[in-house]
Structure 1
Amino acid sequence: MQTALAALISAALASTHSTALTAADADGKWLQLTPAGKFSGRNGQGPWVTGDKLSMEQIVANTRQYAGSTDLAIDYDHQTVFGAIPGVGGKAPAAGWIKELQARDDGIFGRVEWTAAASAAIKAGEYRYLSPVFFHEKTTGRVLAIRMAGLTNTPNLDLVAVAASALFPLNNNPTGDSMDKILAALGLAKGTTEDSVVAAINTMQTSSKAIAIAAGLAESANQSEILTAVNSIVADRTKLATAAGLAADAKGDDIVTAVQSAIAGKVDPTKFVPIAMVTELQGDLKKLREDLTSDKATEAVNSAIEAGKIAPAQKEWALGYAKADLKAFDTFVGNAPVLTASQVREAKRPAGENADLSDSDLAVCTAMGLDPKKFAETLKLNKETV
């Protein structure tokens, strides 16, 4: 898959965007490898595009897929690239290793561990820049994956992109049998464009993450971990189907139905009650509580009237109060004074011209010792004035 990925991303390399190093960087830490968005090299090469954080996360994912279990190397003066060119030769010792990659808002960063020699060279000021090498699309400049990086004092060399074909002997636009095999493996038709192939790979990576999450794994789980988890789920599903008396390849819905039926047939009636019966009992209990509350409220109100704490005309109000909060009503009655005889006496509705007085009006007259006739005249006068 790594070979296929390298072919699909055109194997175009660039060296650009150097990061200036200080003595403090010699101990190793997170260093910026590329900026975000669109950028060009110091010598005018480019522009190259890393895009937004989501796009850079895809670049990091492509790089991890390309590198596999190996760390990305940091060499001296891009000797790893030039060492493969006839006539140049030379060794390509590592100056350090990129242990992790991380996409941030302002670019792609790598956690670097230097060798002792490189650390000493940086502290001594012998090397000053960290220059990345990356795969990119030749037509659009879109960065696809990080290849490596180099300690250098002359970043953004013109020959780096040319040397890439020597380091990776791949066609920039794979054709023939090799490309047909790649397209067939991806389920694509012959002649599919490079962008469509890259999109298909990205979709596969997204699907792989979704499968990992569905299997209860982290989205960063590798293929081996995902395969093990899925095989375990399939094995458990087969066991469940067999236990339910079905074929091993039975559908999920059929397995669920069979299990539910099996459980329903083994329910002990002495330990379980139908839901309908429980609901009915709950309704009866609620009504019983309401009746009991009403009885207690009526008893409390009648007792309060007999004790002269409330007037008979207040009975309906008192019943509503007692039913809503019997404890609060008892407190009210306990603190209320005993009414006088005229207040307790139930008012009689007068005949004739005062017959339109309400029960509440009569209760006020009784409680305050007012003449209902005069009270009625006062109410009538107030209405005419309004």
Structure 2
Amino acid sequence: MAKLFVCSGSQSEINGAPGKIKILPIGHVKSQKGDFNVDEESFRLMKQTFQERGIDIVIDYEHQTLEDVQAPAGGWIKDLSLEDGAIVAKVEWTPKGKQYLENKEYRYLSPVVLVRKKDSKAIVLHSVALTNTPAIDGMFPIINSIEIEDYEGGNSMNILKQLAALLGLGEDATEEQVIEALKALVEDAKKLKEKAVNTEAEGKVVANKVICEMLGLKAGAKTEDVAAAIIALKNTNTSNTIETEFKALKERLAQRDADDAVLMALKAGKLTPAQKDWATEYALKDPEGFKSFVEKAPQGVPMGELEIETKANKEDSFDEATLRICKQLGVGEEDLKKYGKDVR
């Protein structure tokens, strides 16, 4: 597991406020918290972490960044390079930090690095401090502000504890226990998803192949598709039935009007009984034309009682189909009896 060290054997004496400063020498470095090594891999990993985070590394005063106190910056590390057997930082000083250095109020740098356990190699540069007492006794802070991976392959202890807590495990749970709990959680989620998909499918598929084929649908069609087809069919049949019955009613009413008009013409002596069929056809085809013909035609037959009546004149009631169509048109039975002869 990676650990954080405050270096005590790698101080850099500073003269003035240089733009570049040596942070760590390449080789074996001694520290009060244990010795560690710095090599080209150390530089590469430090530079990689620096670039991935995308923020400047702070140069503070007396390692205040490691404590829960106000920690103003004395400068900012803008880049890292490998020069003259050391890891070198390009620095932008704050006015106050520059003044401290020029006045020689601070003379040394003390870097804070993360060390890999398996080979005691420095891999991350956390911060650098301006200090006059670089050997800081008892300093072993825990850094929560950055996420640092253990390059041995696992996660940091903080992340492991957080995962254990989320999974309902104790703080002393091992990495293997956390992994097993995660696998079980993923498996449960997978089963729930499959169950939800199957339930949804069962609710939407219609098993009756015959019904689907009768409606013009493929076997196994969804419920909503079958319902839509049935509603459309129902609406179509209802509409066709109403239209057919209305047409039949209209034809019956037209026939009755034509019969009445011909009967009146016969009674008025404007037609002979032999002309009845011709006159009825004329009245059906062109009611207004027939009316005009009758008005202008001379009386050619003596007036008298004609024994010609139509079924319409004797009807006191109407058939069920007629009443249903009239009801849909907003016409009541009483109105039909009263005004039925005039309905087109």
Output the TM-score relative to the length of structure 2.
0.41
> Higher helix proportion, which one?
1
**Rg comparison, structure with higher value:** 2
